[in-house]
Amino acid sequence: MELNGIKSADGAKHYKRRVGRGIGSGIGKTAGRGHKGQKSRAGGYHKVGFEGGQMPMQRRLPKRGFKSHLLKFNAEVTLASLELLGAAEIDLVTLKQAGLVGELARVVKIIKTGEITKALKCTGIGATAAAKAAIEAAGGSFA
């Protein structure tokens, strides 16, 4: 085998159909666009979602839901992940360095998923009622 003899696999390459190139091509004259009308002309076509003047789907359906742009500043940490972390004192900086919360996080809340056995001193971090009870039962505290 030589470099000049290498060919693509069968069916790997196919030529783009050239429309409007004579009667013999089978797609000459109107080039598959039919006769007259908006769709046959260059540059003219309806906008996406246009339904011929009927009220479009995106306007018929009710508006609902809302996603706050402030959510990116909130974060949650589980008791199980704090157990694995193994630090005695926990604050926002510690959690960011450990990679448990994102760099943008400003408000962090501990949620009760999993169990905790170590005593933790939490500074500047919120917790759900159940998580707070679990941490205090393990000998931890909140500041």
Q: Alpha helix (H) ranges present in 12-142?
A: 57-60, 79-85, 92-98, 129-137
The reported pLDDT for the residue numbered 98 is 94
Phi and psi, residue 113, nearest 5°: -130, 115
CATH number of residue 136's parent domain: 3.100.10.10
Q: What is the pLDDT of residues 57-83, one digit of tens each?
A: 999 999 999 999 989 999 999 999 999
Counted domains in the chain:
1
Residue 98 inside a domain? The answer is yes
The reported pLDDT for the residue numbered 10 is 93
For the chain (143 residues), the mean pLDDT of every run of 10, in chain order, is 92 91 93 92 90 94 92 93 90 94 94 92 94 94 89
Residue 129 inside a domain? The answer is yes
* Own/partner pairs, 60-64, CB within 8 angstroms, 24+ separation: none
Distance CA 48, CA 25 (A): 32
**Which residues contact residue 5 at a Cβ distance below 8 angstroms, ignoring those fewer than 6 apart?**
none
Residue 80 inside a domain? The answer is yes
Question: Domain range for residue 92?
Answer: 71-142
Residue 125 inside a domain? The answer is yes
Burial class, 98, CB count within 10 angstroms (exposed 0-12 / middle 13-18 / buried 19+): middle
Q: What pairing do the DSSP bridges indicate for beta strands 89-90 and 121-122?
A: parallel
